Amino acid sequence: MDTDPIQSAALIGLDWGTTSLRAYLFDGDGRVLASRTSSMGVMRLPRPADLGGCDDAFEKLCGDWLEARALPVIAAGMVGSVQGWKEAPYVRTPADLAPLARGLVPVRSGRGVDVHIVPGLLQDGALPNVMRGEETQVLGALVSDDALRRSPRALLGLPGTHSKWVFVEGGQVTRFFTFMTGEVFGVLREHTILGRGMQPADEPHDAAFLRGVDTARHHGQAGVLATIFSTRTLGLTGQLPAREQADYLSGLLIGHELAGLSAVLSAEGFTWPDWTLGLIGDVSLCRRYRMALAHAQGLDVPMLAQTTEHGLFHIAREAGLLGAAGALS
Amino acid sequence: MDTDPIQSAALIGLDWGTTSLRAYLFDGDGRVLASRTSSMGVMRLPRPADLGGCDDAFEKLCGDWLEARALPVIAAGMVGSVQGWKEAPYVRTPADLAPLARGLVPVRSGRGVDVHIVPGLLQDGALPNVMRGEETQVLGALVSDDALRRSPRALLGLPGTHSKWVFVEGGQVTRFFTFMTGEVFGVLREHTILGRGMQPADEPHDAAFLRGVDTARHHGQAGVLATIFSTRTLGLTGQLPAREQADYLSGLLIGHELAGLSAVLSAEGFTWPDWTLGLIGDVSLCRRYRMALAHAQGLDVPMLAQTTEHGLFHIAREAGLLGAAGALS
């Protein structure tokens, strides 16, 4: 690199969650020129997020970029929650790029730069659902993946602490589910009797993981509150070694998550192959979901990369933040 | 009481779990003459259970009774687990009173008295299930309740940290399920984001509890990993006050437990009314299950009292521990 990337920069994008903050420097075509990561998530700031904590973190991570050049700034994630820098009210489903771009909420930094916060999505009803940050990843996937963009029916999985499964119909996010699979796995392992019998895995035990998936699928009728106890009883009866129990439990929970989605699809007359599928997020976690979907449904589900970057750039462009140069690209 | 109960005593029965130890003094007809409770559960002993801890606790709680008179002793619960005084190997289902009585495991106390430990029950298979203590309650319910004893098909619920639902067919325990409902409720409230939005209830919120039951029943298709997130989102959207969220979550989990049982029954061509039902255990918890079953299934399920006492006495009698006097009663 013999040229300073800041010279061709057109946008700063922030991926700002509860535990981390990532900053991207984009050119006018959406290429990432540079990126930086810090642990300054909105829940880990030394000062309250809305009382200078976010401003400090933003200045620390991006101050030199802004010193060199005035740039528009967009941010997505929990930074827009009540606990964040400034609340960006949820946009209701169904929604595509346009209402998210219209819903950007600016907050003025100490340096005098407006940071434009992407609103989250809300699906109302008996089981309301909310997301903050994932809407940007889903839009990023749609703009960057031809098969997804062209599909009349896409279903995107975003595994994590709270896994999201997002239905995109006719280019719009119509509805989504939140499965607390990751967080439930963590507390079962750390704080219940199931964890007491476990030993740390010496290596990934894929067979134990898939055994859990199968149990959820073939013996899951009574529900996950019943099947999880088998982690302990298979151990007690000498049928599941202590080092494999965590992988088995992970497979059980992910298996129940996928069985829940199967039930939803089936009630609507659909099968999995009726949907264009994709997985977004942490690679090792996506790998588990890929394995489970291949094993239980015979599906080969692609993993989609750099969706946050694509999403941030395209929402900013849709909102006109890039000015004339960006709008032409 | 102008006579010392020890004069007519015929048996000491111990209900010995992980967190508490209860001792009963029975006469030869199974009447409870006296009872004592302590917090000396097998997981709360100052010394390891099998290295004098249990012996100390037993002597402390029952020493004066045994000083006054030699009495047979029977014990049920986690005292017979690997972590207890001495392991009493599981009896396999199907099982009734006889194999449990034959399976008693004696352990000699420091005083020279044999404590006869009731074995737990094991149901083997893809989802093995185990119980220790509940088998005694179930047998106690069967011997003390005419309707249950005469029924060809009884289904007994024992709500708790790990709820058991026990199928009794032709007088034998044929199979059972373990739902980790109580423990999962505890860790969700204490250790996940769901608890962060909650405030302690000022009073029981039965309407919120039943709302949770209804959500599990009518919107529970995606499974409990998905529906629990509504505890948070109904709060975020102003539809569920913080003080009602714990009751709502409790209703959701119990609703999913009962829906799981409904699915099991339905797959076998049964409905709830095909079974003679009963609830055993903590009164306030049984009340929740009664409410849920009345609300969702229109059932009036009786609560069964003193099942542990009945069970301990009848297993001891079946095993011949009471001697000639007991055998005649």
Assigned architecture for domain A5-129+307-328: 2-Layer Sandwich (3.30)
Q: State whether residue B95 is helix, strand or coil.
A: strand
Residue with tokens 């000396």: B40
ipTM topping 0.90: yes
Radius of gyration of chain B (CA): 21
What are the pLDDT digits (tens) for B155-192?
A: 999 999 999 999 999 999 999 999 999 999 999 999 99
Contact B257 A225 (CB under 8 A): yes
Contacts of A196 in chain B (CB under 8 A): none
Domains of chain A: which residue ranges? 5-129+307-328, 179-304
What are the pLDDT digits (tens) for A182-211?
A: 999 999 999 999 999 899 988 899 999 999
Nearest CA in chain B to A237: B128
Return the biggest CA–CA distance within chain B: 69
Contact B193 A183 (CB under 8 A): yes
Contact A128 B239 (CB under 8 A): yes
Nearest CA in chain B to A214: B126
Contacts of B159 in chain A (CB under 8 A): none
Contact pairs from chain A to chain B, CB under 8 Å: 147
Q: Which member of A127, A224, A256 has the closest CB to residue B230?
A: A127
Cα A45 to Cα A38, A39, A140, A246, B299: the distances in Å are 11, 9, 28, 32, 53
Contact B127 A225 (CB under 8 A): no
Question: Is A214 a residue whose pLDDT tops 80?
Answer: yes
CATH class of this structure's domain B179-304: alpha beta
Q: How far apart are CA B58 and CA A300, in angstroms?
A: 61
> Are A5-129+307-328 and A179-304 in the same CATH fold?
yes
Contacts of B230 in chain A (CB under 8 A): 126-128
Cα A68 to Cα A2, A63, A65, B248: the distances in Å are 17, 9, 5, 54
What are the pLDDT digits (tens) for A101-158?
A: 999 999 999 999 999 999 999 999 889 999 999 999 999 999 999 999 999 999 999 9
- What amino acid occupies position A322? L
- Any idea what DSSP says for residue A78? G
User: Among residues of chain B, what percentage have pLDDT more than 70?
Assistant: 98
What are the pLDDT digits (tens) for B200-216?
A: 988 899 999 999 999 99
Q: What's the whole-number average pLDDT of chain B?
A: 95
Q: Which member of B183, B223, B237 has the closest CB to residue A223?
A: B223
Q: How far apart are CA B223 and CA B257, in angstroms?
A: 11
- Which of the four pLDDT bands, split at 50, 70 and 90, describes residue A50? confident
Contacts of B223 in chain A (CB under 8 A): 179, 223-224, 256-257, 259-260, 263
Phi/psi at A85 (5° precision): -75, -50
Q: Which member of B194, B222, B261 has the closest CB to residue A260?
A: B222
User: Among residues of chain A, what percentage have pLDDT more than 70?
Assistant: 98
Contacts of B253 in chain A (CB under 8 A): 225
Nearest CA in chain B to A265: B222
CATH T-level fold of B5-151+307-328? Nucleotidyltransferase; domain 5 (3.30.420)
Contact A130 B236 (CB under 8 A): yes
Residue with tokens 């009872």: B35
